[in-house]
Structure 1
Amino acid sequence: MEEVKFKLDERKRGGFYIESDGKKVGEMVIGISETTLTVYHTEVDQEMEGKGFAKKMLDEMVGYAREKGLQVMPLCEYVLMQFRRHADEYEDIWKK
């Protein structure tokens, strides 16, 4: 089963990603400042769509933001759509 991994560089840029058979098949690109986690882009390989990978990365990102006390700025269309659809679920971390 594929699991979500997390990687940041020294400038606090990076993201959450999923590998399948050693190949990256999904990625959520983020940047972190003192109080904000900005999500720039979420992408899943076309042949892997529909398997819930984007939602898995979203859940990991939300958990990370809550754990670190960060507000999330969703510049990514997918994350913004999920935040709008489930506003009550993400209200505590959504930086509007």
Structure 2
Amino acid sequence: MESTRITLTGHARGEVQLFSNEVKAGKMDIAMTNSRLTVFHTEVDPEFEGQGFAKLLLAQLVSYAREKQLKIVALCPYVNMQFRRHPMQYEDIWEKDWHQ
């Protein structure tokens, strides 16, 4: 059984974590500042690849952003690619014009 959770550590950094049968199968590295949620990296353990786990992580990230009314800065190549492939699906939470 798969489950996801958001874990924030000090300084508003944290992870979206995915567990499969209580084993950590993947994660997204994130940080929150003001009304922005920046996602840096998505990683799925090799033994769990090909099972759609990156999409489960993305779904949790998007759900959290919508619930907290945050905009997502997609620095992660995977998230950026998904946002570009499906812009209408993520239009409400995608911070497209963000610049460092």
| Normalised-by-shorter TM-score class | over 0.9
Deviation at 1:16, TM superposition (A): 0.7
Which stretch of structure 1 is more off in the superposition, 13-22 or 58-67?
13-22
Give the corresponding residue for 1:84.
Answer: 84
Give the corresponding residue for 2:64.
Answer: 64
Deviation at 1:47, TM superposition (A): 1.5
Query: Aligned-pair RMSD on alpha carbons?
Result: 1.0
Give the corresponding residue for 1:93.
Answer: 93
C-alpha separation between the residues in 2 aligned to 1:15 and 1:46? 18
Q: How does 1:21-36 map to 2 (within 5 A)?
A: 21-36=21-36
Question: TM-score if structure 2 supplies the norm length?
Answer: 0.90
Give the corresponding residue for 1:55.
Answer: 55
5+ unaligned residues in a row in structure 1: which ranges?
none
5+ unaligned residues in a row in structure 2: which ranges?
none
Question: TM-score if structure 1 supplies the norm length?
Answer: 0.94
Aligned length: 96
